[in-house]
Structure 1
Amino acid sequence: MNSPSAEVPSLKAGGKPPVSNPPMSLVHELLFVFMTASAQLMTQAGLGQTIAPSHIIGKAFGTTNGGQLSWFPASYSLTVGTFILIAGRLGDMYGHKNMFMFGYAWYSLWSLISGFSVYAKSAIMYDVCRALTGIAPAFLLPNALAILGRVYPPGKRKQWAFCMFGATAPNGFLLGAVFSGIFAQLAWWPWAYWCTCIVCFFFCLASYFIIPDIQEDTNQEKASEKQHFDYLGSFFGIAGLVLINFAWNQGPVVGWQIPYVYVLLIVGFLSLLVFLYVEHKTIQPLLPPDALNGEIGFILVCIAAGWACFGIWIYYLWNFFEVMRNSTPLLTVAQMAPVGISGCVAAATTGKLMSRFRPIVCMIISMVAFTVGSILLATAPIHQTYWAQTFVATIVTPWGMDMSFPAATLVISDFVSKENQGIAASLVSTVVNYSISIGLGIAGTIEVHLNHKGTNILRGYRSAWYMGIGFGGLGVGVSLIAAVFIFTKASRRGPDVENLGVTNDDKKSDFSV
């Protein structure tokens, strides 16, 4: 196979000359892809190690309230989704490799503190630690994707790299769930976080040697970018996302009638309006103009709907196993094992499909997978054998994860210029993680109000899944509309354009595999 530097991407209209990156051997390239993909692996592992032993951790802090337990994963996803946008921008300014290493160093530190939060005897302290831990994946994800976007020009090799990146999502979740389940059931749950601390510290050191020093812009250009960093937009953007997310997830816990809940929600929306105004006026906005168009808008709406559906699916499936079917954490992990296998098959299939069809085709299939997986769980009886609907759901749903994520990131990466790769990667990751947290907040509200004050737990779970079905159905509808829009636009441009976001000049530089 040719090394990533063997082909040089052609110039896009208005773009800068391609940078020359150091060549890599095959072994080095495999390690490089693994190291960048570890960002997705550890992000989802952090979610899995929070969800799997949530009831055991809740008992350690003296809480069994469903709304409070949902804060454990929601607080983590909140900061992952909130800080990704500025983390990608900081990567564009200060170097993606530097921000990637910082992400692992931060992950290691707060995983260590998360384990020691057991001595605080406070669920709030644990939530704060998980929220601060979530800042680490916010730096890892966009900068890892930006590194891939800079090293690989549009082509088959880039498609496979992005598919491998997406394939680590379900397996990362299982990895985190397995080890947290082992420690929670057989030893002590804080050890899961202390082991994560050690692993992240190792990845931080390894990334220094494995990830090549990508040639960035000149120092003069960097200095110009630093002067125009959108501090005001960053403040209002983060404030709006945090306040809205906090209100959505706190509402089920204390009730929506509490004044501070809806006041913070209103202030959050106002902050986002100010953010949009500032972005429109600033010299160098957080969201570059080439990352905002009709196609990308449709893609991001699909991602938001599909991953909100997934967040509800995975959280309530875990609760369904442990609460309704009385499964131990380790047995639950074993029952979730097909997710990882199916995810790998889905990723390989996605690579083949995207080499032949437009990414919107993968998006439609992924939205259908999300929806069908939720329907199977919402209608599954408690005492039904696992091998019926539940097993099928664990096979189907990963296709939603591992087709939607690489398709969306590839589309946006190919659309924007090389100097905005960090922002491009940030968009998808922000929407994915923020949607998970928002979806859990909405589902938690529905569960609390429809489970008859805790006397009908199954009704609450199924009602949450019905909300997930609604999100999935929205994704299917939007993806179909997007397909009509994109194919109509492509037919007007002519039959030569074979892939969304990839020009004819770009396609000449495709790698042969």
Structure 2
Amino acid sequence: MSISSPVMQKDFDTNTGTLKKDDEVVLDEFDIQDETPGSLLWETAFVGVLCSAQLMTQAGLGQSLAPLHIIGKSFGTTNPGQLSWFASAYSLTVGTFILIAGRLGDIFGHKKFFVLGFFWYALWSLLAGFSVYSNKIFFDCCRAFQGMGPAFLLPNAIAILGRTYKSGKRKNMVFSLFGACAPGGFVLGAVFSSLLGQLAWWPWAYWIMGIACFFLAIAGYFIIPHTAMPSRHASSFKLLERVDFAGSVTGVIGLILFNFAWNQGPVVGWQTPYTYILLIVGTVFLAIFAFIESRAAFPLLPFAALSSDTAFVLSCIAAGWASFGIWIFYTWQFMEDSRGQTPLLSSAQFSPVAVSGFCAALTTGYLLSRTPPSTVMLFAMTAFTAGTILIATAPVHQTYWAQTFVSIIVMPWGMDMSFPAATIMLSDSMPHEHQGLAASLVNTVVNYSISIGLGIAGTIESNVNDGGAKPLKGYRCSWYMGIGLSGLGIFVAAIYAWSTFKKSKKRTSEKQHFIE
């Protein structure tokens, strides 16, 4: 059984929608069709290596959340705002650099940046472990640079999969399996970091992560089929234009400053001048980015390709995954702080998300071929809301097998239904020449929303927990914010599902009228 390659137009840029022969960056001998693995065993290895991008991305999030207080203690900090940076610094850069990584992959080769992403991830994982000899600021910086690795892995892995598989049930299942690796990866990172944090030394979790990423980079180099490289006979100026250098710089600066302000506000207080100044400056840079993109020859984010459908989908993803970020961060605090559990016990209690996520992925792969993706998205937003309500109302001394267990079972359905549904919905709503943009946008919004959600929740927590005297009150109020966000996601998804149903009914009616 072999992987089939799609038929794509020669000399066509899937990200910008331009014929490459018309550009001075000549891609005259570029054929996107790859060499494809020719056996089931090779295909399994191929899909496994690419899915490891999602697995290791979420493991990177879990390895800081589970032993959060152990790591904070080694740096002499217990401030909730400072602790939240251990997770949000990572998600910040994952979300910020995905669009740029996808563009670079389009120009220089997706396989090359997939392999380089794992090498980069390995390097900064090792340095994050060695930060134990430094301070929390250096650790935060290492976490931020560490997140740039997954930012290059995710869009290029999805691009390789999307380019290799034709549309159909097989492709839906592969993308669902890719999403299923998210909860499993989180559990993997949480369990190993908890185990090493309690029984050995927490830096070993990062050193082992670095070693694993190094071997995955080597595996990717040998397993992923070769892609023919384009010939480039262009000036550096034209190359910078194709990369959209001005848009990339202003976009990155804007996203980083905007996010930094939201996550730093709970630490130093919003009355500190530099927090709201950076928020204003970040907003200005984002406005400049939008202006540049509207006039760029090769925009990083082509606004012409965005539609009302795109806005609906990304709004759902932003609301749902921001809620998820709040849920997962404060559930860990609730388990370890309010219930006094060890990180290892909490990791064990979180382990059902891997099984639930796998079941959700298989179900989603089945549903997407029989149910409109907008309906699947509505189910996903409902799962995010239900899971957060269950944990937000759980009593401290209640048994784990009541609301906490059910919440942990329900939440992966939100994750593993929303990600593939959003990718397919954007793919269907965007022009053919912008298909490569769909996956990058979804990943950007997913990871950036997690970081922003934590910043907003941290602001709420710091203002209601009476200076840390009532931490549980802060957790619950943050969860209530998460419920509000996911509830907004349900509202948007319901409107979009109804709109999609009406359009489908209208098309059916017009078709019947034409036949008559």
TM-score, length basis structure 2? 0.91
Q: Deviations over 1:225-279 (max 9, x none)?
A: 6543211111111111000100000000000000000000001111111110100
Q: Deviations over 1:332-390 (max 9, x none)?
A: 01100111110000000000000101111111000000000000011000000001000
* Matched-pair contact (CA < 8 Å) for 2:31–2:228: no
When residues 418 and 483 of structure 1 are mapped into structure 2, their CA distance, relative to the original with a 3 A threshold, is closer
**Aligned residue among 79, 89, 95 for 2:109:** 95
Question: Counterpart of 2:167?
Answer: 154
* SS of residue in 2 equivalent to 1:154: coil
When residues 452 and 307 of structure 1 are mapped into structure 2, their CA distance, relative to the original with a 3 A threshold, is same
The yes-or-no answer on 1:200 pairing with 2:213 is yes
Unaligned 5+ segments in structure 1 are 498-513
Deviation at 1:488, TM superposition (A): 2.4
Question: Counterpart of 1:487?
Answer: 501
Question: Counterpart of 2:393?
Answer: 379
Deviation at 1:432, TM superposition (A): 0.4
The yes-or-no answer on 1:83 pairing with 2:97 is yes
Question: Counterpart of 2:140?
Answer: 127
In 1, Cα distance between equivalents of 2:306 and 2:290: 13
The yes-or-no answer on 1:166 pairing with 2:179 is yes
In 2, Cα distance between equivalents of 1:128 and 1:496: 57
**Aligned residue among 364, 376, 392 for 1:350:** 364
After superposition, residues 467-506 of structure 1 pair within 5 angstroms as: 467-494=481-508
Moved more, 286-295 or 471-480: 286-295
* SS of residue in 1 equivalent to 2:404: helix
Q: Percent identity?
A: 59
When residues 492 and 386 of structure 1 are mapped into structure 2, their CA distance, relative to the original with a 3 A threshold, is same
Question: Counterpart of 2:118?
Answer: 104
Q: Deviations over 1:198-247 (max 9, x none)?
A: 10000000001111123465646999665432111111111110001000
In 1, Cα distance between equivalents of 2:412 and 2:479: 16
* Matched-pair contact (CA < 8 Å) for 1:302–1:476: yes
After superposition, residues 329-408 of structure 1 pair within 5 angstroms as: 329-408=343-422
Q: Deviations over 1:169-192 (max 9, x none)?
A: 000000000110011000000000
* Matched-pair contact (CA < 8 Å) for 2:2–2:36: no
Q: Deviations over 1:468-507 (max 9, x none)?
A: 000100100000111122222333334799xxxxxxxxxx
Deviation at 1:152, TM superposition (A): 1.3
Question: Counterpart of 2:65?
Answer: 51
* Matched-pair contact (CA < 8 Å) for 2:97–2:148: yes
Amino acid paired to 2:44: L
Q: Deviations over 1:255-310 (max 9, x none)?
A: 00000000000011111111101000111100135641121211111000000000
When residues 161 and 470 of structure 1 are mapped into structure 2, their CA distance, relative to the original with a 3 A threshold, is same
Deviation at 1:2, TM superposition (A): 5.0
The yes-or-no answer on 1:21 pairing with 2:45 is no
Question: Counterpart of 1:501?
Answer: none
Amino acid paired to 2:417: M
Moved more, 169-178 or 446-455: 446-455
When residues 352 and 93 of structure 1 are mapped into structure 2, their CA distance, relative to the original with a 3 A threshold, is same
In 1, Cα distance between equivalents of 2:336 and 2:272: 31
Moved more, 419-428 or 334-343: 419-428
CA RMSD of aligned residues (A): 2.3
Amino acid paired to 1:204: A
* SS of residue in 2 equivalent to 1:131: helix
Question: Counterpart of 2:80?
Answer: 66
When residues 28 and 220 of structure 1 are mapped into structure 2, their CA distance, relative to the original with a 3 A threshold, is farther
The yes-or-no answer on 1:190 pairing with 2:203 is yes
* SS of residue in 1 equivalent to 2:95: helix
* SS of residue in 2 equivalent to 1:3: coil
* Matched-pair contact (CA < 8 Å) for 1:96–1:422: no
Q: Deviations over 1:421-443 (max 9, x none)?
A: 54332111110000000000000
* Matched-pair contact (CA < 8 Å) for 1:291–1:424: no
Unaligned 5+ segments in structure 2 are 20-29, 512-516
* Matched-pair contact (CA < 8 Å) for 1:150–1:418: no
When residues 340 and 157 of structure 1 are mapped into structure 2, their CA distance, relative to the original with a 3 A threshold, is same
* SS of residue in 2 equivalent to 1:134: helix
Question: Counterpart of 1:505?
Answer: none
Deviation at 1:416, TM superposition (A): 5.0
* SS of residue in 2 equivalent to 1:281: coil
* Matched-pair contact (CA < 8 Å) for 1:51–1:73: yes
* Matched-pair contact (CA < 8 Å) for 2:3–2:165: no
When residues 369 and 10 of structure 1 are mapped into structure 2, their CA distance, relative to the original with a 3 A threshold, is farther
Amino acid paired to 1:427: L
Deviation at 1:420, TM superposition (A): 4.6
When residues 457 and 435 of structure 1 are mapped into structure 2, their CA distance, relative to the original with a 3 A threshold, is same
Q: Deviations over 1:101-123 (max 9, x none)?
A: 11001000000100000001x11
Question: Counterpart of 1:4?
Answer: 4
In 2, Cα distance between equivalents of 1:485 and 1:150: 30
Question: Counterpart of 1:213?
Answer: 226
When residues 420 and 218 of structure 1 are mapped into structure 2, their CA distance, relative to the original with a 3 A threshold, is farther
In 2, Cα distance between equivalents of 1:212 and 1:275: 36
After superposition, residues 439-478 of structure 1 pair within 5 angstroms as: 439-478=453-492
* Matched-pair contact (CA < 8 Å) for 1:171–1:343: yes
Corresponding residue pairs, total? 495
In 1, Cα distance between equivalents of 2:510 and 2:233: 39
In 1, Cα distance between equivalents of 2:64 and 2:156: 24
* Matched-pair contact (CA < 8 Å) for 1:162–1:410: no
Moved more, 269-278 or 288-297: 288-297
When residues 125 and 115 of structure 1 are mapped into structure 2, their CA distance, relative to the original with a 3 A threshold, is same
When residues 496 and 104 of structure 1 are mapped into structure 2, their CA distance, relative to the original with a 3 A threshold, is farther
